[in-house]
Amino acid sequence: MTPRIQYVVVAFLFLVSTSATSVPSCGQVVSTLTPCLSYLQGKDPTPRCCSGVKALKTLATTKADRVAICTCGKQALATIKYDPKLLPALPSKCGIDLTGLSWEMCCNKAK
């Protein structure tokens, strides 16, 4: 292999390994849950909202993922007006189990 091809292969492997182990970004979490704002203000969850909750579940594969998602979610929720009583019911209203992830807990205690 030429040095240039070796460099490209090493760079590609680095990118793949980094993206496979990185936690979800706050931007990902917020954009995934943005369709749920109307639900948090008293309306029924929309299909887009439930798709976002389902996508969130796929992002939450490790404890580090769940801690990052929880931390970001709490920060985002602190900036909006919403009914906090509605939040715990959202996953079940969408038919999705988010065991191990709750906005009401200390995020470092995510399972």
Domain ranges of the chain: 26-109
pTM: 0.72
Q: CA 92 to CA 50: how far, in whole Å?
A: 10
Q: pLDDT by residue (tens digit) across 45-73? A: 999 999 999 998 899 889 899 889 989 98
pLDDT at 17: 38
pLDDT at 6: 41
Could you confirm whether domain 26-109 is CATH 3.40.605.10?
no
- % the chain with pLDDT above 90: 43
pLDDT above 90 for 25: yes
Residue 111: pLDDT band by 50, 70, 90 thresholds? low
